[in-house]
Amino acid sequence: MNPIVVLGSKVVDGQVTDLLASRLEKAIEVSSMTPEAPVVVSGFGEAAAMADYLRARGVTNIVEEPWATSTNENLENAHALFPDTLQWTVVTSGFHAWRTYLWAWHLGIPIKVVTARTPSAERLGMAIRECFALPHSTLRVLWRKLRAPKS
């Protein structure tokens, strides 16, 4: 049983946005192939809305992780819930896949990323955001590696 982790994104007035709905719809699709797998919804201020969305569409095996505020925290906190998992399925948007792989590699968490489509109205803005977020995350990973105790 390998958990399915859905990375959070902004909610507005307690409701998921089109971007987040796209991730959740992809998670429903993945979950239908392995219904015994728990679906971990992760994100501060987002997990409850995500869980409500999934429950309204018949998904019942949901675990909420409501504390994460970043991609690395999403992965770290989900991993803490299921530390013996050998392979994670992580659902996120296509623009976010490289950063997700980067953090998973750094954290030593084996993942398979399944990407959801990014709504056309969001594509340009998210691509621009990722142009800054990916190098920022890369520098954070390098900084952590350099500061890690030598064994």
Note the pLDDT tens digit of each residue in 94-124. 999 999 999 999 999 999 999 999 998 888 8
What is the per-residue pLDDT for 1? Answer: 74
Yes or no: say if 37 and 61 are a contact pair by the CB < 8 Å rule.
yes
Q: What is the CATH number of the domain that holds 68?
A: 3.40.50.620
Instruction: Look up residue 36 and give its two tokens.
Output: 């015994």
Q: The pTM is what?
A: 0.92
Q: Residue 100: which of 68, 124, 123 has the closest Cα?
A: 68
Domain that holds residue 86: 4-147
Task: Express each pLDDT in 46-66 by its tens digit.
Answer: 999 999 999 999 999 999 999
Q: Which residues contact 72 (CB under 8 A, 6 or more apart)?
A: 103, 106, 107, 137, 140
> CA 41 → CA 101, 106, 118, distances in Å?
18, 21, 18
Q: How many domains does the chain have?
A: 1
22-28: average pLDDT: 99
**Residue 151, pLDDT above cutoff 80:** no
